[in-house]
Amino acid sequence: MNGHALKKSLQILTLLLFAGTLFSCRPRESLGNAAGEGLILGFSQIGAESAWRNCNTRSIQEAAEEKGVQLLFENAEQKQENQIKALRSFIVYQVDVIAFVPIVADGWDNILREAKEAGIPVLITDRKINTADNSLYAGFIGTDSFREGQEGARFLLRKFASADSVRIVEIQGTEGSSVAIGRAEGFREGLAGQDKFEIIHSVSGDFLRSKGYELMRGILRRYDGIDVVYSHNDGMTLGILDAIREVGLAPGKDIVIVTIDAEQAAIDALKRGEVNCVIECNPKMGPAIIELAEKLARGESIPPFQHVHEVVFSEYDDLSSIEPRGY
């Protein structure tokens, strides 16, 4: 064996030993105590695409630490295949409970079946999944994206009560994600039967500020007379505002802006009059997730569906007493 081959073999051996330490099966009986201490929770997060997402991650990590829950945290860097790998590694490790944020709604049945066969309860958080078999997971806690879309429509009905025609651009979130689907459907349902509203362009910006900016630049070159931008998250909205300012238009005045998440930056823009309506999507679900995980580890049942509390802030409200958002 030459020097290079020997080095390679040693590297592979080290990796195998490391993986063996990390993922060797531990006995299932080592569940946490009643307070949750000792409980092992495997959590697969989508990534770090927005300030909202980072707050969601912090909330889970802090709640786990507070309760003495051992958190195996995996960041999937926006790839479903990474999430599936992470879930499989949690099964091999025999964690007590698995929780994850499904990046898209489809494609989870096989891995959930593996978790079910291993006897590990799964909690779905933030976004929903599509499955014909709801017995594959224990419960869902997260945002009500359909209602968020309806709230956006409700604001526009009030804002444009006396207008004859309203031309809307929609920048959607990640394609195939339950939140992008819900926000699009709820919005359309809220405007149903109101023919003066027309969605002239709808495109996915993947929840990224950079894409919001790039897409909006192109849209402003292509269309005149845009009345509204409905953006599925604040990150994209911040990019959209930059693009609108660059062409000499005033966001919030020349173009009405409706956005979702309620990050501090969006609330500040609302206060400046550059955004008109901010629909909260609540990322601080860590304490509730840990509480549900503890129940599952104790073998208790949990509600199949739970939506987190969320509010709406708009130019029609008194904005003076909004607490710092923390994200």
Dihedral (Cα; 152, 158, 162, 164), 10-degree rounding: 10
Tell me whether residue 172 or residue 233 sits nearer to ligand AHR (CB atom): 233
User: Least separation, in Å, of the C-beta of 277 and ligand AHR?
Assistant: 15
| Number of residues near ligand AHR (by CB under 6 A) | 14
Q: How far is CA 165 from the centre of its chain?
A: 33
Q: Which is nearer to ligand AHR, 237 or 276 (CB)?
A: 237
**DSSP codes joined into one string, 133-189:** -GGGSSEEEE--HHHHHHHHHHHHHHHTTT-S-EEEEEEE-STT-HHHHHHHHHHHH
Answer for which of 96, 126, 151, 170 binds ligand AHR (CB under 6 A) is 126
Name residues contacting ligand AHR, limited to 12-71 (CB under 6 A): 49-50, 52-53
Report d(CA 302, CA 124) in Å as an integer: 12
d(C-alpha 288, C-alpha 28), whole Å = 24
Asked if 260 is part of the footprint of ligand AHR (rule: CB under 6 A), the reply reads yes
Shortest approach of ligand AHR to residue 317 CB, angstroms? 21
Residue 115 sits in the site that holds ligand AHR (CB under 6 A) = no
Measure the CA–CA gap between 37 and 102, rounded to whole angstroms.
26
Q: Does the footprint of ligand AHR cover residue 235 (CB under 6 A)?
A: yes
Binding mask 142-171 for ligand AHR (x = CB under 6 A): -x----------------------------
Minimum Å gap between C-beta 99 and ligand AHR is 14
Report if residue 281 touches ligand AHR, rule: CB under 6 A: yes
CB of 168 to ligand AHR, least distance (A): 19
Any idea what the Cα angle at residue 108 is, between residues 87 and 38, rounded to 5°? 30
Phi, psi of 142 (to 5 degrees): 175, -160
Residues 169 and 184: beta-carbon distance below 8 Å: no
Q: From the list 39, 60, 91, 127, which residue makes contact with ligand AHR (rule: CB under 6 A)?
A: 127
Closer to ligand AHR by Cβ: residue 275 or 281: 281
Does residue 141 bind ligand AHR (CB under 6 A)? no
Q: Which two tokens stand for residue 242?
A: 């930059």
Question: Which segments of the chain does DSSP mark as H helices, in order?
Answer: 3-23, 51-67, 80-93, 109-117, 145-159, 178-191, 209-222, 234-246, 264-272, 286-297
Kindly state whether residue 288 participates in binding ligand AHR, applying the rule CB under 6 A. Answer: no
Catalog residues that contact ligand AHR under the rule CB under 6 A.
49-50, 52-53, 126-127, 143, 179, 207, 233, 235, 260-261, 281
